[in-house]
Amino acid sequence: MKESTKKFLKKHLGWTIVSGLLLIVAIFMLTINLIPPKKNVANNPFVVKNGELPMIAAHRGGGENNPENTMLAFREAVNTYDVDVIESDLWLTKDKQLVYNHDSKIDRTCDVEAQGHTEFKISNLTLSQLEQYNFGYNFKTKDENGQDVYPYRNYTHDEVVQAGLQIATVEKLFEEFYQTNPDLLFIVEIKNSGEQGKEACKILWDTLQDERFEVYRDNIVVGTFHDEIETELKTKYPELMRGAPTGTAAKFILTQFLGVNIFDNSDFACLQIPTSYDLGITLNLDKKTIINRAHQRNIAVQYWTINDKAEMRELIELGCDCIMTDNPKAMREVLEEYKK
């Protein structure tokens, strides 16, 4: 055999092998994307039906419209803006009560400093101590001249109680709506870590065992940033739906970008993400592919925290399940546009 013939055969044999390997990879990728993935949750009330508009989640009860995390905010969100979901964070008090607040301290929102007190941490205060403060104290709006106005600063304690401006507990919120709004959904985050966080999980679970609140047992999704609390929820309270922790969410999104969804073995119910992450470069997460692949697993996709109407419309067009917003009033206005 001539040397030129040998080189020709060797060259084309190499290309044949490479082409064959590429074909095998292509068939493999096609196959794993055609295999229906296992559903993370059998029944997920946070997933909207195909073609339906997304849910409104009042972030901290809707902190742009009313004092955040107060019963006033929660009532307005549900009764005035007809939200589907209440979203907030839970902290454990000194006497083991679960209260709604974003921060571990209370000085940002209430009048604890104005009263001359110096203990701000929720974990160091009892519920009765926390209830003496006005959590609408630092809430501000604008008057007709664009000047800052603090509408609740001069309230007496009785007026604070009547208006619903005390710190709110899990039990008080459930009591408020379980009869009138049994379909109301809840997104909560356990903010405590370690033993306090584990105690918070138990108290939340025990509260849901109250026969009055059984309507909410399948209406709540629980999240955390702490690995040990995620493990506690997963092992001791498997009946509770969970949101994806940061690492799990990142892994899920990566499998979607690589098209290897079948290799994701997560079991969370809700993917709660911003529209983008800044990792030195901007990673955009407002993608139809992410939503579609999550829906294949019966996972709800919930974007936070969206207060701009144009961005709300973009996410509605993508077909997400829920938009978390500080301004449920604006979100309701956008949804009414779509209904018309």
> What pLDDT is attached to residue 40?
80
User: Assign residue 295 a region: left if phi > 0, alpha if psi is -120 to 50, beta otherwise?
Assistant: alpha
Across 26-42, b (16+ Cβ under 10 Å) vs e yields: eeeeeeeeeeebeebbe
Domain carrying residue 29: 1-35
Q: Is residue 137 in a domain?
A: no
78 and 26 together in one domain: no
Return the minimum-mean-pLDDT range out of 68-72, 142-146, 169-173.
142-146
Mean pLDDT check: name the lowest of 21-25, 95-99, 113-117, 264-268: 21-25
pLDDT above 80: residue 22:
no
* Residue 31 and residue 174 in one domain: no
**Inside any domain, residue 305:** yes
Same domain, 254 and 335: yes
The domain that holds 250 is classified in CATH as: 3.20.20.190
Q: Per-residue pLDDT averaged across 291-309, rounded?
A: 96
Residue 143 resides in a domain: no
Q: Say what the pLDDT of residue 28 is.
A: 42
Q: Could you tell me if 227 and 312 lie in one domain?
A: yes
22 and 75 belong to one structural domain? no
CA 78 vs CA 174, 183, 333: distances in Å: 12, 11, 15
Q: Are residues 22 and 89 in the same domain?
A: no
- Total structural domains in the chain? 2
Residue 293 covered by a domain: yes
The C-alpha atoms of residue 191 and residue 200 are separated, in whole angstroms, by 9
**26 lies in the same domain as 67:** no
Per-residue pLDDT tens digits for 316-329: 999 999 999 999 99
| 203 domain residue, yes or no | yes
Is there a single domain that holds both residue 67 and residue 6?
no
77 plus 30 within the same structural domain: no
Residues 66 and 11 in one domain: no
pLDDT value of position 251 = 85
**pLDDT-based confidence at residue 30 (cuts at 50, 70, 90):** very low
User: In the structure, what pLDDT confidence band is assigned to residue 263 with cuts at 50, 70 and 90?
Assistant: low
Q: Which tokens hold the place of 268? A: 């969370």
Q: How far apart are CA 203 and CA 107, in angstroms?
A: 25
- 153: in domain: no
End-to-end CA distance of the chain: 79
pTM to 2 decimals?
0.88
Please report whether residue 134 resides in a domain: no
- Kindly list the distances between the CA atom of residue 66 and the CA atoms of 62, 111, 324, in Å, as whole numbers in the listed order: 6, 16, 15
Q: How far apart are CA 242 and CA 80, in angstroms?
A: 28
Q: Please check whether residues 28 and 80 belong to one and the same domain.
A: no
Q: Same structural domain for residues 200 and 249?
A: yes
User: Mean pLDDT over residues 19-47, rounded?
Assistant: 64
Q: What are phi and psi of 139, to 5 degrees?
A: -75, 130
Q: Is residue 47 part of a domain?
A: no
pLDDT of 235 above 50: yes
